[in-house]
Amino acid sequence: MADNSKLLVGLGNPGARYAGNRHNVGFMALEAIAARHNLPAWKKRFLGAFTEGRIGDARAYLLMPGTYMNESGNAISQAMNYFRLTPDDVYVFHDELDLAPGKVRVKKGGGAAGNNGIRSTIAHIGAEFHRVRIGIGHPGHKAAVQPWVLGDFSKAEREWLGPLLDAIADNADRIAAGDAANFMNRVALATPGRDD
């Protein structure tokens, strides 16, 4: 394994009909990171879209699984094993119902909290990877959850989403360096009013 290599994964569902969904904010984050850091064009690899390059001082492998959310772990395990990485080298960007819209938290380990992409990842590589949880808020009651996550971001939500994705991309070098605390702090400072 190359020193200081990280696998950054965005969760989402493939295809144009899902592209604007709240559930696809992980894909949006990865696309923003790849664009900001001038990584090569995405190519088909590891059952998904893949690119790689340097982010800050680290080698970064970026993967958006092309399977549906509930099969994401298969692609992640293939890439992790190919590059001889450990779960501790893996950062999975995903939507989080239990965080207020626009908040970002990074944590290592834990359960799936109802996210099928995280559940699949745990099944394939264990729980000791890092989750970059991007808050989309909760619709208020359980019956509304599926239409909420599979609904597109509203025009009002896009007013905070764009700056948030910019802040995530601008500070991806902190994630690539394994510095989650500094990453969270910088994103919060860059998105005033989104954090309390």
In a domain, 195, yes or no: no
Distance CA 86, CA 79 (A): 11
In the block, tokens 């390059």 appear at 53
Distance CA 131, CA 141 (A): 24
Distance CA 105, CA 96 (A): 9
**How many CB atoms are located within 10 Å of the residue 31 CB?**
20
The one catalytic residue in 23, 37, 94, 130 is 23
Which residue range(s) make up the domain with 123? 5-190
Q: Is the pLDDT of residue 193 over 70?
A: no
In a domain, 116, yes or no: yes
Half-sphere exposure of residue 142: CA atoms within 13 angstroms, side-chain side = 2
Please tell me the total count of domains within the chain.
1
pLDDT of amino acid 126? 97
Q: What is the CATH number of the domain that holds 24?
A: 3.40.50.1470
Does 23 participate in catalysis according to the annotation? yes
In a domain, 98, yes or no: yes
pLDDT tens figures, 5-53 = 999 999 999 999 999 999 999 999 999 999 999 999 999 999 999 999 9
In a domain, 196, yes or no: no
pLDDT of amino acid 195? 44
* Helix or strand holding residue 9 (H, E): strand 5-10
Distance CA 91, CA 7 (A): 6
In a domain, 39, yes or no: yes
Residue 68 or residue 126, greater confidence:
126
